[in-house]
Amino acid sequence: MRKCLLVWVLLCTGMTLWAQSGEDRKLEKLKAEVQEKVEGRAKMAQVMVDKIFSFAELGFQEYASSKYLTDILEENGFTIEHGISDVPTAWWAKWGNGKPVIAVGSDLDCIPKASQKPGVAYHDPQIEGAPGHGEGHNSGIPLNIVAAISVKEIMEREGIPGTLILWPGVAEELVGTKAYFTRDGYFDEVDMCIFTHVSNNMTVSWGQARGTGLISVEYTFEGEAAHAAGSPWRGRSSLDAVELMSIGWQYQREHLDPIQRSHHVIKNGGDQPNVVPSEASIWFYLRNVTYPRIMEMYEKCNNIADGAALMTGTEVKRKVLGSAWPRHFNQVIAETMYQNIRQVGLPEWSEADQTLARALQREVNSPRDTNGLSTKLDTIGLPISRPISGGSDDIGDISWKLPTVTLRFPANIPGLQGHHWSNAVAMATPIAHKGVVAGAKAEAMTLLDFFLKPELVDQAWEYFRNEQGMKQKYVPMVTEEDKPATYLNKDIMETYRKEMEALYYDETKYDTYLEQLGIKYPTVRED
């Protein structure tokens, strides 16, 4: 009897294993197929990347980019909700049925004054003073679209259940929208999120990420105007308050933990010297590595604002213009994705790609990277043992709302300073085009992993609930009363848009944007 039972147990386990390996074989076959499908859309990827590069729209003003991308998604069977969270350039594109619901997102906006001719390894703006893709946000959504429609084709044919969502990180440079999306419930029904961000290698990480979160606040002081020479004693200067607040914060800085980052600009400092400024404002980014530390800095900054108002007899109002939680990424999604990244590997760079990269690294005096593009695949990013300061991204908010990772894909050149014209150089060249295709393959394969093995989604939630969320409860830094600052950058885009329109990429006439601009690839200094 016991023997019989043993045989029966062995038989059952054997059958399950056999069935499992059958499923795994099917998954591997579909993953091989989806890579080919992505490769077959390399031309589509290039056109989208070049097109968004040529639109070069600043945060909240991504009208041409969003229209162009949502039209493509609509043609490919997605249903679009426009203007989510009262942001005109934001959208929510949906296809499919049932669970799991997987959202893929990426940023869209560019950098002020970063206009630059692609493929040219020295500063040569397309339009002097105009915005440009000096971070490379023109590449992430094209990647997501190529991956999503390749996966969708397979899901349709195979009858695989699940829902795909695509969404844009509007105004990421202002960390302006993602907290509103979570506040307004857009991610409530979503099971997991894959975010993509341009990089110079391909990897993914889990645990607390490098970098900070932040709150972006503008303090506006109201005083009293007066003739600055005739009756200055009758004026109360809002500009004095702004300057005192700036100095106050500089003194505060000595007593802040050194891991913080804080910086400000004065965009409104009055009108002309002979009028005592009745209104002036100062805009701060306050960054730190945990949510409580960010809120502590915010309170200190508010006190300094009140002090400056008291000293000058002015009144101060504050407005939150953006916010971002520090990022924490999901172990299960990251480890699954990294297996796919290893299979895909880095793109093959041509001699022309490498010549451009090395010349640009020389041009900007890159401190470490002088040897061109990455040729050795990065390792997976593990949790950092001590927090490391640096930049922020409001994907942090999504990463505290549901299991999330960021796929970093190899579409740019190592060793550049970021938020700079040099970061635009590669972004409408074969470097970006190839990097996007590689990233799309890794993303598409990962989507198949999670659609075909929904138990992985449960495991991702186990990590999210039991490992990540134990110590910290997520509350968006924006309140119910706060509204997205959609008016930002409007004036700048109005100044340049006409001139920029003449340079929009016309894919019906030119194979590539480089061809349209008549740029020899690569263009490097002759020495």
Residues that bind Zn ion (CB under 5 A): 135
Question: Please, what is the angle between helix 331-344 and helix 454-463, to 10°?
Answer: 130
Indicate the residue among 101 and 110 with the shorter CB distance to Zn ion.
Answer: 110
d(CA 280, CA 239): 5
User: What is the amino acid identity at position 216?
Assistant: S
Indicate the residue among 270 and 435 with the shorter CB distance to Zn ion.
Answer: 435
In the numeric block, the tokens 């508010």 are attached to: 302
Least Å distance between CB 19 and Zn ion? 43
Indicate the residue among 135 and 353 with the shorter CB distance to Zn ion.
Answer: 135
Least Å distance between CB 518 and Zn ion? 29
d(CA 397, CA 390): 17
The number of C-alpha atoms within 13 Å of 269 and in the hemisphere containing its C-beta is 10
Indicate the residue among 169 and 372 with the shorter CB distance to Zn ion.
Answer: 169
Indicate the residue among 101 and 141 with the shorter CB distance to Zn ion.
Answer: 141
Least Å distance between CB 136 and Zn ion? 7
- Is residue 402 within 8 A of residue 193, CB to CB? The reply is yes
Least Å distance between CB 302 and Zn ion? 28
Indicate the residue among 48 and 411 with the shorter CB distance to Zn ion.
Answer: 411
Least Å distance between CB 334 and Zn ion? 19
Least Å distance between CB 151 and Zn ion? 24
d(CA 517, CA 519): 5
| Angle of CA points 185, 188, 189, to nearest 5° | 130
d(CA 275, CA 280): 12
Least Å distance between CB 135 and Zn ion? 5
Sheet with 279-288, edge to edge strand ranges:
261-268, 279-288, 213-222, 315-324
Indicate the residue among 135 and 378 with the shorter CB distance to Zn ion.
Answer: 135
d(CA 377, CA 391): 23
- Is residue 123 within 8 A of residue 364, CB to CB? The reply is no
Instruction: Choose among 146, 47, 72, 61: nearest CA to 110.
Output: 61
